[in-house]
């Protein structure tokens, strides 16, 4: 019998981590087997004490690190076959890592230059990416003439220029002052919504995690593992006003207790 036409085929998860674990060649067990599914369009934050494997997990999703065992799938394909699924990913690191001698627009164009995209085709994409991060007027500037927050915007524009569906961000705003960080957090949420991105975001900040995410994945160290997943059941768009609500405080308290437990286990195991 044929299926009734009303049955909807669910879209596959954007990211699946299937019993993936990582032991570095020196024997450090950075991650015990991790299972995690991220749906398309989610904003997920990885939170946890230093050394719990957040960066390791993110780099495995990016295909920058091989798991010791287990699998990682993006739209049901191995990471290396992502483009066959018609998808792209981009990685934003903590430091903006810009070429100091090159203009802002040349920095943003770099991934397109590396992919051999002709200049005429690249130019409007670079302009669009700069406009998205509010730097249209700074295309000709050199990085050293920009503030730290603006340099990070250039780095984000450079990731957006490839038109990714998946954005991986490893503590991108960790080195910025609080006001700049709040502004970039708000702008990132707007980008995420308007571009329908799937985002995995690493942070040490409980407040940033609650403000941004659909779901916070809490990790613990020695060895690194996932200990809790907390859904932040709060509608978007979120404004900074959310941060002064009792609900925000409840989420932050819950995560703070969880982080404390994760860190104490850490310390106890380090002492034993």
Query: What residues are paired with 262 via a beta bridge?
Result: none
Contact status: 143 vs ligand ATP (CB under 6 A) = no
Residues 221-250 that bind ligand ATP (CB under 6 A): 224
CB of 61 to ligand ATP, least distance (A): 12
Whole-angstrom distance, CA of residue 52 vs CA of residue 195? 30
Residues 56-115 that bind ligand ATP (CB under 6 A): 56
Pick between residue 109 and residue 181 the one whose CB is nearest to ligand ATP.
181
CB of 12 to ligand ATP, least distance (A): 27
**Cα 144–Cα 146–Cα 149 angle in degrees, nearest 5:** 125
Pick between residue 158 and residue 225 the one whose CB is nearest to ligand ATP.
225
Pick between residue 30 and residue 126 the one whose CB is nearest to ligand ATP.
30
Pick between residue 161 and residue 168 the one whose CB is nearest to ligand ATP.
168
Whole-angstrom distance, CA of residue 156 vs CA of residue 141? 16
Of 25-33, 135-143, 157-165, 261-269, the window that binds ligand ATP (rule: CB under 6 A) is 25-33
Pick between residue 30 and residue 230 the one whose CB is nearest to ligand ATP.
30
Residues 30-59 that bind ligand ATP (CB under 6 A): 30, 48, 50-56
Whole-angstrom distance, CA of residue 156 vs CA of residue 188? 9
CB of 151 to ligand ATP, least distance (A): 20
User: Tokens in use for 71?
Assistant: 């699998």
Asked if 183 contacts 28 with a C-beta cutoff of 8 angstroms, the reply is no
Of 22-30, 34-42, 75-83, 85-93, the window that binds ligand ATP (rule: CB under 6 A) is 22-30
Pick between residue 29 and residue 142 the one whose CB is nearest to ligand ATP.
29
Pick between residue 60 and residue 108 the one whose CB is nearest to ligand ATP.
60
Of 1-9, 26-34, 96-104, 159-167, the window that binds ligand ATP (rule: CB under 6 A) is 26-34
Contact status: 159 vs ligand ATP (CB under 6 A) = no
Contact status: 24 vs ligand ATP (CB under 6 A) = yes
| CA distances to 45, 49, 55 from 134, in Å | 24, 33, 28
Whole-angstrom distance, CA of residue 118 vs CA of residue 158? 16
DSSP type of residue 11: P
Smallest Cα–Cα separation from 14: which of 86, 95, 94, 104? 86
Number of residues that bind ligand ATP (CB under 6 A): 13
State the pairing for strand pair 29-38/89-92.
Answer: unpaired
Asked if 130 contacts 108 with a C-beta cutoff of 8 angstroms, the reply is yes
Pick between residue 96 and residue 111 the one whose CB is nearest to ligand ATP.
96
State the pairing for strand pair 198-203/43-47.
Answer: parallel
DSSP type of residue 134: T
Asked if 47 contacts 219 with a C-beta cutoff of 8 angstroms, the reply is yes
**Binding region for ligand ATP (CB under 6 A):** 24, 26, 28, 30, 48, 50-56, 224
């Amino acid at each position: 019998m044929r299926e009734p036409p009303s049955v909807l085929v669910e879209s596959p998860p954007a990211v699946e981590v299937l019993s993936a674990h990582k032991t570095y060649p020196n024997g450090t067990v950075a991650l015990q087997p991790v299972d995690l599914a991220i749906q398309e369009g989610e904003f997920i934050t990885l939170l946890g004490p230093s050394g719990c494997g957040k960066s390791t997990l993110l780099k495995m999703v990016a295909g920058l690190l091989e798991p010791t065992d287990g699998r990682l799938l993006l739209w049901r394909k191995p990471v290396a076959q992502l483009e066959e699924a018609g998808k792209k990913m981009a990685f934003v690191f903590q430091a903006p890592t810009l070429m100091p001698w090159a203009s802002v627009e040349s920095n943003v164009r770099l991934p397109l230059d590396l992919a051999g995209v002709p200049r005429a085709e690249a130019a409007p994409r670079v302009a669009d990416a700069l406009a998205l991060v509010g730097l249209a007027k700074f295309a000709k500037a050199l990085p050293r003439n920009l503030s730290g927050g603006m340099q990070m915007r250039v780095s984000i524009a450079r990731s957006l220029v490839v038109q990714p569906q998946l954005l991986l961000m490893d503590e991108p705003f960790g080195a910025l002052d609080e006001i700049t960080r709040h502004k970039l957090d708000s702008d990132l949420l707007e980008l995420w919504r308007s571009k329908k991105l799937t985002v995995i975001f690493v942070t040490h900040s409980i407040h940033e995690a609650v403000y941004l995410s659909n779901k916070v994945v809490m990790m613990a160290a020695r060895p690194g593992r996932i200990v809790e997943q907390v859904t932040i059941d709060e509608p978007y768009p979120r404004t900074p006003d959310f941060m002064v609500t009792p609900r925000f405080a409840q989420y932050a308290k819950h995560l703070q207790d969880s982080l404390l437990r994760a860190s104490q286990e850490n310390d106890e195991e380090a002492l034993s």
